[in-house]
Amino acid sequence: MAAFDALAEAPQAVQAAELQALAATDPVVAAALAKMLAVDEQASALDTPVGRSPDAAPAPPPSASIAQRTDAAADARLQAALADRYRLDAVLGRGGMGAVYRATALADGRPVALKVLHAEARRDPEATRRFAREARLLGRITHPHVLGLLDSGTTATGVHYVVTEVLHGVPLATAIAEGAFDGLRTARVIRQAAEGLAVAHAQGIVHRDIKPDNLFLEWAGGRDHLKILDFGIAWFAEASVQTADGAVFGTPACMSPEQARGAAAGPASDLYSLGVVAWSCLTGRPLFEGNTPLAVLMQHLSAAPPPLDPAVVDGELAALVGQLLAKAPEARPASAQAVAERAARIEARLAAERGAPAAVVGPGGTVWADDGAPGAAPTGAAAGRTGWWLRGAVALGIAALAALAFTLAR
């Protein structure tokens, strides 16, 4: 691995010479290594502000008052452009590419999250395409474990926006940072993510960037309720994984071996990434670590996953995670739906062993646990009505048995 790190740090002329020499003896490895170096370069460039070279002297930060005035003016222009449809209530976050607002839909008073692209980002054709692609793909998927798209469009002033449901909770990455999950909670994460992926895959959509930051945990029905986020680099299964310049998409920490090689990323790639997420849930740390993205990618290509502790992790759950992490796509589970079904069985067994409510079978045979999704136990007033009906039925049953026992005694 040190040799790969050294190559990543070498001048481009040295890299080219080394790759040319390697291609003469092992062209497949040389091609994969070239892809790794490209990803490493792309990742390094992420730390450089747009329009600045990596070697340029750092620019002085703008004064807070100027930044605040600029943001306030942008907010006012956006509110004016959307005045007939949405009321902007608060800024949930700002980043280099855009901003997210908590807003209210004027048609029905529903709280929503409204995401827009900054003017600078709108001048980047790729950023605009990615934003539009996410809206288009989210519009094709309706599922309790996928972030729900409510609206999208472009204002008269050229601002691209996407409106989704508001989420209340934390990214899975935040939850993992607080400590490793037990087997039951991990099985639930796998099941819910796999159910959402199964619907996306059935639409011919591959996410390509499943990672803890793109999985969000809400608290519903006393359980984690997971949502899959960010379909911005998703693609249709019949499309090519590469752009014209051969770029590799995904996050190195969770990237499948075939993605790392620059090969086509099919549904099995999402399953590998889900296996990486599950391993991190069970251990509280990344599957592979390294000083550079290249070092991490090379481990995804050739290193065996560190074994899970059998004294801590359920054997059946460990076997599922191990199969998800198979290097060869064909060695992984056959589909996301198959993963969801296996995870549901593990979840139900672990819940029964703990004495917690087990999963139930919902409409269409889909397996759900009590996590606020279809098939979950009712809450609030509905729960009270259900409880009253159940208590009445039990009381009548006991009375009937008592009457029968009295009759037989005579």
Q: What is the distance between the alpha carbons of residues 60 and 65, in angstroms, rounded to a whole number?
A: 14
Give the DSSP per-residue string, 15-54: HHHHHHHHHHH-HHHHHHHHHHHHHHHHHHHTTSPTT--T
Active-site position among 47, 89, 108, 209 = 209
CA distance 93 to 366: 36
Alpha helices in 263-378 (DSSP H): 267-283, 293-302, 315-324, 336-354
Burial of 374 (0-12, 13-18, 19+ CB in 10 A): exposed
> How many H-runs (helices) and E-runs (strands) does the chain carry?
14, 12
CA–CA gap between residue 150 and residue 113 (Å, rounded): 9
CA distance linking residue 303 with residue 284, whole number of Å: 19
Is 209 a residue of the active site?
Answer: yes
Q: 374, 144 in Cβ contact below 8 A?
A: yes
Task: Find where tokens 């759900």 sit.
Answer: 368
Q: How far apart are CA 333 and CA 317, in angstroms?
A: 13
In 3D, which of 35, 1, 57, 400 has the Cα closest to residue 252? 35
Catalytic annotation, residues: 209
